[in-house]
């Protein structure tokens, strides 16, 4: 009887220990996935902010929807056609662009102003941060399209100073977060440049965000 009791207690302790190991492993995986998801979300948002900063430096936006890649600075274009993530995942940028266009086409009916999405920039998030700031495996891809409401009949040319920017961040273990924002050029008075009549000059390169949303 003592031997049988000892075996039963040993089996019970072993079972409880195994359950605890499984529980800890599951909690660790959940925490890692949550961390990766937040990191990707913040990276996508950083990509949007960086795109706004790059657009702010352009003197005009009319040709940006039709020539988006040329508008991004070199440090936001790593030149990779199929960049690889740290876990070995390969991103097919051409396929991702087709998927973005297909999703947009499903949301907007056929018409002259239906958005045409152009790949704007793509690079590891590390490349957009100060040297040595942090290390992150997240990769950011951005697309730009003309605002469907400008009504000029040309989706490759901006007519109302409004563009739509979509950022997607890819992390480890299949993590993927998406943010879409509409940004507008805003002319603001420049007190340093006044005309002879005393009216303030115009500095036409200010940009404001008019909408922001995370998309599935």
CA 210 from centre of chain? 17
Contacts of 73 (CB under 8 A, 6+ apart): 54
Largest CA distance in the chain: 107
163, 149 contact by CB (below 8 A): no
Q: What is the pLDDT of residue 200?
A: 45
Q: What is the pLDDT of residue 194?
A: 46
Place of tokens 């920017």: 165
- Provide the token pair at 93: 């940028």
SS3 128: helix
Distance CA 119, CA 115 (A): 13
Distance CA 54, CA 65 (A): 14
Q: What is the pLDDT of residue 168?
A: 97
Which helix (H) or strand (E) covers residue 98, if one does?
helix 93-107
Beta strands in the chain (DSSP E): 118-124, 139-146, 162-170, 176-194, 200-215
**Exposure of 12 in the CB half-sphere (CA atoms within 13 A):** 6
Per-residue buried b or exposed e for 49-59, using 16+ beta carbons within 10 Å of the residue's own CB: ebbbebbeeee
Distance CA 202, CA 148 (A): 27
pLDDT, block means (10 residues), the chain with 216 residues: 83 83 72 84 94 89 84 81 91 96 94 94 85 81 94 93 96 92 79 47 71 93
How is the chain split into domains, by residue range?
2-215
Q: What is the pLDDT of residue 197?
A: 45
Classify residue 63 by its DSSP letter. Answer: T
Distance CA 203, CA 187 (A): 6
Q: What is the pLDDT of residue 10?
A: 86
Q: What is the pLDDT of residue 91?
A: 95
């Amino acid at each position: 009887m003592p031997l049988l009791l000892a075996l039963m207690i040993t089996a019970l302790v072993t079972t409880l220990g195994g359950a605890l190991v499984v529980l800890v492993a599951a909690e660790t995986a959940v925490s890692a996935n949550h961390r990766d998801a937040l990191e990707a979300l913040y990276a996508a948002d950083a990509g949007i902010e960086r795109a706004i900063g790059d657009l702010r430096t352009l003197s005009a936006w009319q040709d940006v929807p039709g020539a988006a890649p040329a508008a991004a600075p070199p440090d936001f274009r790593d030149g990779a056609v199929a960049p690889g993530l740290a876990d070995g995942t390969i991103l097919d940028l051409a396929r991702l662009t087709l998927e973005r266009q297909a999703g947009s086409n499903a949301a907007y009916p056929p018409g002259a102003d239906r958005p045409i999405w152009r790949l704007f920039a793509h690079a590891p998030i590390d490349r957009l941060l100060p040297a040595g700031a942090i290390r992150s495996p997240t990769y950011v891809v951005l697309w730009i399209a003309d605002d469907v409401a400008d009504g000029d009949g040309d989706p490759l040319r901006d007519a109302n100073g409004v563009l739509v920017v979509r950022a997607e961040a890819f992390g480890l273990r299949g993590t993927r977060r998406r943010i879409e924002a509409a940004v507008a050029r805003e002319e603001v008075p420049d007190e340093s440049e006044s005309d002879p009549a005393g009216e303030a000059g115009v500095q036409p390169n200010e940009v404001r965000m008019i909408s922001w949303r995370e998309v599935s």
